Amino acid sequence: MVPARAASTRLPGKALVDIAGLPMVVRVAQRAALSGAARVVVATDSAEIRDVVHAHGHEAVLTCAEHPTGTDRLAEACALLGLPEQTIVVNVQGDEPLIEPALIAAVAQALADDPEASIATAAHPVGRADTLFSPHAVKVVCDARDRALYFSRAPIPWARDALADGAQRLAPGLGALHHIGLYAYRVAFLRVFPGLPPGHLERWEALEQLRALEHGHVIRVHRTDAAPAPGVDTPEDLERVRALLQAQAGGGA
């Protein structure tokens, strides 16, 4: 499922911007289809986006414009489509035109492999100190079964002894994980989630996934060695992605 809103503050009309000859949301749907998904659906609040997606041969469903989050939009889309409760739905953001199809499949499989989990997501090793200490980079710590214990914008876990001098560095062997914002859900959970009240931790960290943890839901984390390709939030991001695709085309990729 690809949620795609018409409104975008930092990049107006983002879903339909041209990237190497295709609207961005269509390129995302193509990448999602390569994951082996049984079905790919764009969930949008825009008739224009729906019509463009249909014109390129993909499925789309029109949802309410008032949803506070993409998860709420997915919940409505699942209801409109009449999906069975045990169906696994992967939320692929509509601004990820370079997303790796294998990562989508792996996150879906992680949820399928853990019947007690309500959500699956992904993470990769933190490779730079500025990432660990950046509030814009979300970190996650897991238990021995790769289930999330906590997500934070703060540097977690904290290497007490290695950072006792106040320096911002990567402690050898720390194993910090950078969260990747890709989620798989069962439809049954999506029906419940919009009704859960936001929790104390979610409000402080501004991280929606903490609502699930605060209400006792299990989140399984798929670990990958590779950082994901960049998404598109700003005009600069758009030009970066266009340049990457142009370079791939020039190299015969």
Tens of pLDDT, residue by residue over 175-232, are: 999 999 999 999 999 999 989 999 999 999 999 999 999 999 999 999 999 888 888 9
**What SS3 state is found at 107?**
helix
Question: Would you list the DSSP string of 122-168?
Answer: EEEE---HHHHT-TTS-EEEE-TTSBEEEEESS-SS--TTTTTT---
pLDDT tens, residue by residue, 37-46: 999 999 999 9
The reported pTM is 0.92
Residue 157, preceding peptide bond in cis (omega within 30° of 0): yes
Is pLDDT of 93 > 80? yes
Task: Give the full edge-to-edge strand order of the sheet including 59-62.
Answer: 2-4, 41-44, 59-62
| 119 vs 189: CA distance, rounded Å | 8
| 173 vs 123: CA distance, rounded Å | 17
Q: What is the mean pLDDT of residues 31-53?
A: 96
Q: In order of start, what are the domains of the chain with their CATH numbers?
A: 1-86 (3.90.550.10), 100-228 (3.90.550.10)
Quick one: pLDDT at residue 6?
Answer: 83
Quick one: pLDDT at residue 5?
Answer: 86
| Per-residue tokens: 230 | 């960049």
